[in-house]
Structure 1
Amino acid sequence: MMPPTSSAPHSAGSAGALLTDARLGKKPAPRLRRYYLEPGLRKELPKLHQILAVDLAHVVMLAERGIIPATQAARLVDALRDLRADPEARLRIEPERGSMVLQIEAHLTNAVGESDAGALSTGRSRIDQGATVRRLYERNGTLAVLDRLVALQDALLALAARHSRTLMPGYTHLQPSQPWVFGHYLLGFANKIHRAFVRMLEAYHHLNLSPLGTVGGSGSPWPLDRRRTAALLGFAGLVENARLGRDIQYLADIAAAACLIMNEINDLATDLQLWSSNEFALVELDAGYCGTSSIFPQKKNPIALEGIRTAAAQSMHWFSNVLALCRGMGSGDLAMRSPGHVDAVFETTADMTDLMTGIIETLIVHPSRMGARAQLGWTTASSLADLLVHQGTLSYRQAHHAVGAFVRHCVENDVAVTDATAGLFASVTGLDMALTDAEFRSALDPATFIAACTSQGGAAPEQVDALLRAAAADREADRSWLDTEQHRLASCNAELDRAAEILAAARPAGSHHHPDLAHE
């Protein structure tokens, strides 16, 4: 929702003429206002805090460099801080004026006069101002995603630790493959989420560069201190070449990283939805993350998982949309209108990651059923083939054929894996393994199979414990970086407030800015 709008005629005494008056001599057409200006303002409105931060940092720099007088800067700082205190209530939007920077200029004109308000445009354009605002807003969105990724790692590690010894059936092609350990499975996703953090962090480094001061693409004749405004706004560096101030290719990095995050949580959601079905019943969602049916009273529908999968499907266009926009830009200014779907990238990715965190934190696991299912489906047949190879008479492929024929015989004759014997194996395959029936069954035991999976990264207990420690270290490194960065940004914001306060103190005693006519 936009703040109140006005259709009153404009004059020099009422925030001055429209920007378009001098060159175009005509107000925006109603259709342009409805279909272009008003939607653009609605997209800018959530970025109002960032817009005002950029304005404040720019004024501070202009004053510190002696580009505008300190007293003029003080009046601007007062007016900007007053607006910043409650912008949605105090800023009157007049769509025919154009973008939000012009709305604020009109507000400042009413507050401190046209001369002071116009000084804010010294050494900048809407190109670099808008690009800076977008990067600040997108930085917040990226940090929110990174924070949610760390929280999901926390949840996955906690559940993995509780189930570091829980046997379950593994599946390929939805058919039983080998025994798995549920904690080992979860650690795989913890690793993926850590990699997603690293990938998004790399995109963050490309994002967190200041374009302010690149102006129209060739820089400025004014002695701007771009590093000062970058520091006040928390940027880690500059967009060095002024030609790249309006560049949005960094959004492709963010969109790609976000798409991959959505892909990871989609895979986890797909597995959990399948395994929570009545046919598998290995896990169960907490009732708080389920819905029910208007007709089937028995239903406990995993709607949270379905929501994640739906959002993941819709996320697949994010990357291609950014690339399409970049391709269409050439040397023009399509980026002046930020791609509308980008805000959804941050919101959807953060929200769905948070939703998955809640699902994992409350997931109901059925270890006994998992263990029982791990005994079925001949999941340790490869272990039997390995044993034949170890006896030194067959290659693995020969052993694979022999065990495959034995499994087919047992399935066709309704012989359960727990009833199979060494004698039966010898009679079917013609191979005498010289094992007792107890030794033969031990070779087919899932726990024995897992205990033997001691290769690095395997599912044996000592390997799972090592993976837990490594994943916990990754999580701690991610959290440490995030905490440090958030502290750094808070310090930058405090420095901006301090610098603005110093400027405000330069206002002569008893001097006040004009009444805010936008309140009348």
Structure 2
Amino acid sequence: MKPLLPTRPRALRTLTWALALALPLGAARADGPRDEFFWLGEINKATAVINTEQGLLDRRLTPLVTAGLRQVLRDAQQPGAKRPASVITFEPLLIQAAGPEITWLHAGRSSQDMHATFRAAILRDEMLRLADQLNATRRTLIDLADQHRATIVPNYTNGVAAQPNSYGHNLLGHAAGLERDAQRLREAYARIDRSPMGSTVLNGSSWPLDRARMADYLGFAALVENAYDAGQISSVDEPVEAAAVATSLALHTGQFIEDVMTQYAQARPWILLEEGGANTYVSSAMPQKRNPGLLNATRRDASSVLAQAHGVVLQAHNIPPGMSDAKEVKPNTALLRDTGAVLKRWQQILQALRVNRERALDELNSDWTASQELADVLMRRFQLPFRVGHHFASEVVAYARAKAIRPLDFPYREAQRIYAETVHGSEHPAQLPLSEAEFRATLDPVAIVNNRATAGGPQPAEMTRMLARARQSVADHEAWVRARREHVQRALARLDQDFDRLADSARPAQPPKP
């Protein structure tokens, strides 16, 4: 398709020459933040290159178009300069720099596909920024798990002490949740990393635009194929999906914090924050109190992220396709940056945690969190049905609590008596098959943890394996982030190079003759 030539050729040639000579080489760099203005500049540069080479933009206009665009981008680098965030405010600057003929760039375009494109590009950048902090928090969590692989602590279910466990194993459980969040982030990124550009408004354009090359210049991995989907459906899905990632991260943060917060209600906690700094503060009235300010602030901020994320979903609810309610850059950027800030606080919590190993073991030995092991050992070694063994263990606990007896102090003769009463009238031998030494070893929290045999358990060999796999997962995710970021950077560098080549080749050697 050969474009129509603009009118006023003499005036146009003069303006073109003046603009081209006025600008230094390389002045098309859209320096500054990668905001809406930046991406509008990149879209315009890519349009100039592609449409000129395709013959959709007459080459006689190239000097005017490239010089005008260079002027706008150069002006934006001045202190206090405006950076318009929409097509309708960006385009007047182009017209001011080069006249209305520069709007030949707008052939086959709309603010709808251009805005959808810069929103996706900005959201893509923010997802990678969030991924960086997620990686940092995961790595800190895994390092702490490694330090505490042999630290034996109580774990809780239904808010009640349940079983002994390695604290390192506990922390790896939280790390596994964050690993799934990293997977969700990568999957969401892949659906965000698609270019709507060239879809125009609803059904494309009669101009045969090269959408694939445009996507390549802007660093997108693929196209939003359906032109209606590009501006009306997909561009609403993207912030909602990012909000889902933020929701999961906030929930996992809150779970960890609440697990630690329960210790602050105890008279003798086994885990606390290191005192001072931003970690804790002294009560204004009660001098004995050290309030966990960092925990409280992080929980508050995680709740705020959940509220923001739900807001995105509600804004996208019950609206006709294409409405901009949930698309706005500012709140969606704020949501992901606030999520990153929550993860940063979680990382600070991990760095400030102080675990009292002796106190944790004392709590285990003062309660009966090891009682299930009695039933397991009797079934595994002596073929006693689990429910019978469970009943025996339950009666032992009831007797001990009534008499205030700790597990390791429980009288062996009473264990023999309770066992005989439990199996009385059954086919099972009346004598407790465990010796006194075996009975006491069965109640040892450290031995219980070390003797676990299930894949994924806290036993030393499994901890070594899972720590290595967790570290590899973080390394793989870090490599993925680097690769995605480098892909975009290479694409934009290639666009700069091709635009400069186009602009420089269009610079006239001498002024036009009247």
Give the TM-score range, shorter chain.
0.7 to 0.9
**Alignment of 1:471 onto 2:457:** no
What CA RMSD, in Å, does the superposition of the two structures yield over aligned residues?
2.5
Deviation track 1:373-431 (CA, whole Å, cap 9, x = no partner) reads 22221111011112222353631111111111111111101112121132111223425
Please give the secondary structure, in 1, of the residue aligned with 2:165: strand
Tell me if structure 2 keeps the 8 A contact 1:77–1:500. Answer: no
Question: More displaced, 66-75 or 325-334?
Answer: 325-334
Deviation at 1:178, TM superposition (A): 0.8
Mapping for residues 305-324 of structure 1, pairs under 5 Å: 305-318=295-308, 320-324=310-314
Tell me if structure 2 keeps the 8 A contact 1:77–1:503. Answer: no
Q: Hey, what's the Cα distance between the residues in 1 that align with 2:107 and 2:486?
A: 31
Mapping for residues 64-83 of structure 1, pairs under 5 Å: 64-68=53-57, 69-83=61-75
Counterpart residue number, 1:356: 346
Tell me if structure 2 keeps the 8 A contact 1:210–1:230. Answer: yes
Counterpart residue number, 2:461: 462
Deviation at 1:324, TM superposition (A): 3.7
Amino acid of the structure 2 residue aligned with 1:139: R
Deviation at 1:104, TM superposition (A): 1.6
Q: Hey, what's the Cα distance between the residues in 1 that align with 2:224 and 2:105?
A: 21
**Alignment of 1:63 onto 2:52:** yes
Tell me if structure 2 keeps the 8 A contact 1:200–1:258. Answer: no
**Alignment of 1:47 onto 2:36:** yes
**Alignment of 1:136 onto 2:127:** no
Deviation track 1:115-144 (CA, whole Å, cap 9, x = no partner) reads 22x233222111001100100110111111
Deviation at 1:340, TM superposition (A): 6.0
User: Match for 2:105 among 90, 95, 120?
Assistant: 120
Deviation track 1:36-68 (CA, whole Å, cap 9, x = no partner) reads xxxxxxxx9953333333333333323332322
Deviation at 1:90, TM superposition (A): 2.3
Q: Hey, what's the Cα distance between the residues in 2 that align with 1:511 and 1:290?
A: 69
**Alignment of 1:207 onto 2:192:** yes
Deviation at 1:107, TM superposition (A): 1.9
Counterpart residue number, 1:109: 95
The 3 A distance-change label for structure 1 pair 124 and 465 is same
**Alignment of 1:500 onto 2:499:** yes
Please give the secondary structure, in 1, of the residue aligned with 2:248: helix
User: Match for 2:201 among 216, 221, 228?
Assistant: 216
Counterpart residue number, 1:85: 77
Tell me if structure 2 keeps the 8 A contact 1:92–1:107. Answer: no
Please give the secondary structure, in 1, of the residue aligned with 2:106: coil
Tell me if structure 2 keeps the 8 A contact 1:322–1:339. Answer: no
Tell me if structure 1 keeps the 8 A contact 2:49–2:499. Answer: yes
Please give the secondary structure, in 1, of the residue aligned with 2:155: strand
Deviation track 1:161-183 (CA, whole Å, cap 9, x = no partner) reads 11111111111122221101000
The 3 A distance-change label for structure 1 pair 276 and 469 is farther
The 3 A distance-change label for structure 1 pair 393 and 463 is closer
Tell me if structure 2 keeps the 8 A contact 1:214–1:220. Answer: yes
Amino acid of the structure 2 residue aligned with 1:151: A
Q: Hey, what's the Cα distance between the residues in 1 that align with 2:387 and 2:330?
A: 56
Q: Hey, what's the Cα distance between the residues in 1 that align with 2:381 and 2:413?
A: 17
Please give the secondary structure, in 2, of the residue aligned with 1:89: coil
Q: Percent identity of the aligned residues?
A: 26
Q: Hey, what's the Cα distance between the residues in 2 that align with 1:485 and 1:65?
A: 29
TM-score, normalised with respect to structure 2: 0.84
Tell me if structure 2 keeps the 8 A contact 1:421–1:441. Answer: no
**Tell me, which stretches of 5 or more residues in structure 2 are unaligned?**
1-32, 421-429
Deviation track 1:57-90 (CA, whole Å, cap 9, x = no partner) reads 333323332322321332133124314534x722
The 3 A distance-change label for structure 1 pair 57 and 291 is farther
The 3 A distance-change label for structure 1 pair 339 and 234 is closer
Counterpart residue number, 1:161: 146
Question: More displaced, 294-303 or 100-109?
Answer: 294-303
Deviation at 1:284, TM superposition (A): 2.2
Q: Hey, what's the Cα distance between the residues in 2 that align with 1:332 and 1:234?
A: 24
Q: Hey, what's the Cα distance between the residues in 2 that align with 1:92 and 1:359?
A: 38
The 3 A distance-change label for structure 1 pair 155 and 335 is same
Please give the secondary structure, in 2, of the residue aligned with 1:288: coil
Mapping for residues 235-254 of structure 1, pairs under 5 Å: 235-246=220-231, 247=233, 248-254=236-242
**Alignment of 1:347 onto 2:337:** yes
Q: Hey, what's the Cα distance between the residues in 2 that align with 1:511 and 1:397?
A: 98
Q: Hey, what's the Cα distance between the residues in 1 that align with 2:494 and 2:339?
A: 31
Question: More displaced, 476-485 or 276-285?
Answer: 276-285
Tell me if structure 2 keeps the 8 A contact 1:91–1:107. Answer: no
Q: Hey, what's the Cα distance between the residues in 1 that align with 2:54 and 2:249?
A: 44
Q: Hey, what's the Cα distance between the residues in 2 that align with 1:313 and 1:509?
A: 60
Counterpart residue number, 1:16: none
Amino acid of the structure 2 residue aligned with 1:288: G
Deviation at 1:319, TM superposition (A): 5.2
Counterpart residue number, 1:17: none
Q: Hey, what's the Cα distance between the residues in 1 that align with 2:75 and 2:273?
A: 47
The 3 A distance-change label for structure 1 pair 240 and 84 is farther
Tell me if structure 2 keeps the 8 A contact 1:61–1:229. Answer: yes
Counterpart residue number, 1:428: 418
Deviation at 1:159, TM superposition (A): 0.7
Deviation at 1:363, TM superposition (A): 2.3
Amino acid of the structure 1 residue aligned with 2:165: W
Counterpart residue number, 1:38: none
Deviation at 1:369, TM superposition (A): 1.8
Q: Hey, what's the Cα distance between the residues in 2 that align with 1:289 and 1:310?
A: 15
Tell me if structure 2 keeps the 8 A contact 1:454–1:462. Answer: no
Q: Hey, what's the Cα distance between the residues in 2 that align with 1:216 and 1:190?
A: 43
Q: Hey, what's the Cα distance between the residues in 2 that align with 1:480 and 1:57?
A: 28
Tell me if structure 2 keeps the 8 A contact 1:422–1:435. Answer: no
**Tell me, which stretches of 5 or more residues in structure 1 are unaligned?**
1-43, 94-98, 513-520
TM-score, normalised with respect to structure 1: 0.83
Tell me if structure 2 keeps the 8 A contact 1:283–1:364. Answer: yes
Q: Hey, what's the Cα distance between the residues in 1 that align with 2:510 and 2:485?
A: 37
Deviation at 1:465, TM superposition (A): 1.0
Amino acid of the structure 2 residue aligned with 1:73: V
Counterpart residue number, 1:178: 163
Please give the secondary structure, in 1, of the residue aligned with 2:48: helix
Tell me if structure 1 keeps the 8 A contact 2:273–2:280. Answer: no
Counterpart residue number, 1:257: 245
Amino acid of the structure 1 residue aligned with 2:271: V
Deviation track 1:23-48 (CA, whole Å, cap 9, x = no partner) reads xxxxxxxxxxxxxxxxxxxxx99533
**Alignment of 1:267 onto 2:250:** no
Tell me if structure 2 keeps the 8 A contact 1:127–1:336. Answer: no
Q: Hey, what's the Cα distance between the residues in 2 that align with 1:240 and 1:114?
A: 32
Q: Hey, what's the Cα distance between the residues in 1 that align with 2:295 and 2:47?
A: 46
Q: Hey, what's the Cα distance between the residues in 1 that align with 2:227 and 2:244?
A: 26
Tell me if structure 2 keeps the 8 A contact 1:168–1:181. Answer: yes
The 3 A distance-change label for structure 1 pair 332 and 76 is same
Tell me if structure 2 keeps the 8 A contact 1:169–1:370. Answer: yes
Amino acid of the structure 1 residue aligned with 2:267: E
Q: Hey, what's the Cα distance between the residues in 2 that align with 1:61 and 1:219?
A: 17
Question: More displaced, 273-282 or 402-411?
Answer: 273-282
